[in-house]
Amino acid sequence: MDLPRAHSASWRRLLPGLLALGSGVLACQEDLLQTAVRPPDGTGGNGGNGGEGGQAALGELDCTTPATSDALPPGAAFGEGDVLEPWPLVSTSYGAGEGPGLYVLSRDTFRVYVDGHLVAESTAARTPLFLPLSLLPGASVIAIAAHAAVGAPAVLVQLDDLSASYFSGESWKVSTAPEGGWQDVGFDDEGWANARELGALDGLPGCDPDGTFPDSSTARWIGTEEGTTGSLALRTTIHIEPVGFAEATTGGAGAPPTLVASFDELAAAVSSPDPAVILLPEGVSDFRRTGSDATTRSTCPSTCTEEPEKTTLQIMSTDDTCAQPVVEELTTDRALEVASNKTILGLGRGALLRGVGLHVAGADNVIARNLALYDINARLFEGGDALTLEGASRLWIDHVTAKWVSDAHADVHAGTTQTTLSYVLLDGENEAECGDREHWMMTLTDTEMTIHHSRFEQATTRAPAATESSLLHVYNSVFSSTSDWTVASRCQSEVLLEGSVFENVEAATSLGDCGDGTGLGLMQAAGRGNVYRDGSAVFLGGDGSEPADDVFVPPYEYTLVPATDALGQVVSRAGAGSLWALPLVLD
């Protein structure tokens, strides 16, 4: 293999760790330099957790002797002749343990495919490879061709995605005579056998990887029946799909992924009438309006009741009057108008879009994933939302962070249906507002929504509030540091609240009417496994007890776990970047 194919920033970071492999494993520099990853572009459910079964007797997979060949899997059926080419879903910006990606360890040589694209290959036997990787929403296929000149070919695999990790095990499919196209998503592998588990991580002599492979992994060594030599093909399908009212959402599925580099490119792509999968680069994209593009707005100063030393600035509409001298301020926000059939995906550890709010009005079938929307006129009040959803349908908002937003973190207007927010982090901490927190975080009006594994923190109220006949299902979420009421049902709305944790909130729930004494909102929380800490068990409206009204039954399947089990998952995984979130900074 030509050495230049290994020259990438991610490879240079990986090399020192690989050179530190212990005895019994081939780790000479000559072998390491034969490992290639895709060069830069130039600019849960479980896919196979083998569990505890299938432990092989020692000796069935022998890694104690040196590899006898450095040949990649031979034959067109196993990818001979395929060429590594740039693919935007493979990153070069971080190394093992620093972001989502794929770990592969093989007894001998291998090729790795994702959705039919050759993304890595290696002749460095028993040497872990980490590939920084983002998965598209929908079904993704991880496929591996492995080869051993002598002995049994076998691999050990772990995939870290934003919500969960996936491990090699007996649910993977295996073939020693694969047909063409076996690396692709649409390939039918029903006729393939289930992989045979050969042993656990650190359970087979000489097969133990170094620290590059996660030492807590539950991945299993997998191959095929005993006595097999030569080459084999392995594959599994990972499903990154919405749960809840938005379960039918597919976004721009089927369209070729397109990486955008500027706000103009992004705006054009999301507003196009055609289906699209739009990729945003990892890291900060400062899309605030500057210079002549910024707008001067009149703001009205007011003093915080409980903080007389603090003054806030509220943006005025044309008809507003102000008792104080008006202050002129620049507003720099942009609203990204999203059309139907779009997937917007931040790569790697998240796309941080400074100054940008998403506006989905009248559109259908939209996915937004792994994005941070922040600094939307952060030092002003009533100056733009992070999420504005208006009469839209089939919306899946996943692993999105909103912070330093001058108006609502999410405003959901009448007629919005089939919507799910999952692993969303709404962080209301903002020194520019009274109490250093968001005033009204999220209001749903005549809306149908599921919220799960999400985190609401540092709000005054409406975190969230359902009103005007909304249906809201909240489960396995976390609510922290609310200075007034938190989850509300108003004006003929129905809220099902279950398996969630409330910490340090003034009141966990609130029931209210339509403002005229009629149409009291309903909520069912009692007996639904919610946990109330730090005096949070305060319930406003009704008889003052935990709400126990009859409400709707969700028309979809979902998995509810105990609230205390969900707590760690939500705290570590919610928001853009998940476990590996990049910091948001105001300058």
Structure confidence by residue, pLDDT tens digits, 566-584 = 999 999 999 999 999 999 9
More confident residue, 200 or 349: 349
- Is the pLDDT confidence value at 50 over 60? no
Give the CATH class of 258-288+334-579. Answer: mainly beta
Start-end ranges of CATH 2.60.120 in the chain? 3-240
Give the list of residues 6+ apart from residue 23 with CB closer than 8 angstroms, or none: none
pLDDT for the residue 31: 32
Q: At 280, list the tokens.
A: 């945003």
The length of the chain is 587
pLDDT for the residue 150: 82
Q: At 344, list the tokens.
A: 């917007």
244-250 mean pLDDT? 98
- Is the pLDDT confidence value at 382 over 90? no
pLDDT for the residue 59: 39
Task: Classify residue 199 as left (phi > 0), alpha (psi -120 to 50) or beta.
Answer: left
430-443 mean pLDDT? 91
High-pLDDT (> 90) share of the chain, %: 78
- CA 326 from chain centre, in angstroms, equals 42
User: String of b and e for 454-472 (b: at least 16 CB within 10 Å)?
Assistant: bbbbbbbbbbbbbbbbbbb
Q: How far apart are CA 388 and CA 212, in angstroms?
A: 42
Q: Which residue(s) pair with 259 in the sheet?
A: 279
Tell me which CATH code domain 3-240 carries: 2.60.120
Q: How far apart are CA 445 and CA 13, in angstroms?
A: 50
SS3 411: strand
pLDDT for the residue 432: 87
pLDDT for the residue 172: 98
- Is the pLDDT confidence value at 182 over 90? yes
Residue 68's pLDDT band, with cuts at 50, 70 and 90, is low
More confident residue, 318 or 168: 168
Q: At 179, list the tokens.
A: 């047909």
Question: What is the overall mean pLDDT for the chain?
Answer: 89
- Is the pLDDT confidence value at 305 over 70? yes
Question: By mean pLDDT, which of 39-43, 382-386, 391-395, 566-570 is the weakest?
Answer: 39-43
| Structure confidence by residue, pLDDT tens digits, 468-524 | 999 999 999 999 999 999 999 999 999 999 999 999 999 999 999 999 999 999 999
- Is the pLDDT confidence value at 53 over 50? no
Start-end ranges of CATH 2.160.20.10 in the chain? 258-288+334-579
- Contacts of range 530-533, beta carbons closer than 8 Å, 24 or more positions apart: 530/497, 530/498, 530/499, 530/500, 530/501, 530/502, 530/563, 531/500, 531/501, 531/502, 531/563, 531/564, 531/567, 532/502, 532/508, 533/501, 533/502, 533/503, 533/504
Cα–Cα distances in angstroms (integers) from residue 364 to residues 163, 167, 391, 486, in the given order: 24, 34, 9, 29
| Structure confidence by residue, pLDDT tens digits, 189-198 | 999 999 999 9
Residue 526's pLDDT band, with cuts at 50, 70 and 90, is very high
- Is the pLDDT confidence value at 287 over 70? yes
pLDDT for the residue 63: 77
Q: How far apart are CA 134 and CA 562, in angstroms?
A: 29
SS3 269: helix
396-421 mean pLDDT? 96
Which value, in Å, is the radius of gyration of the alpha carbons in the chain?
Answer: 26
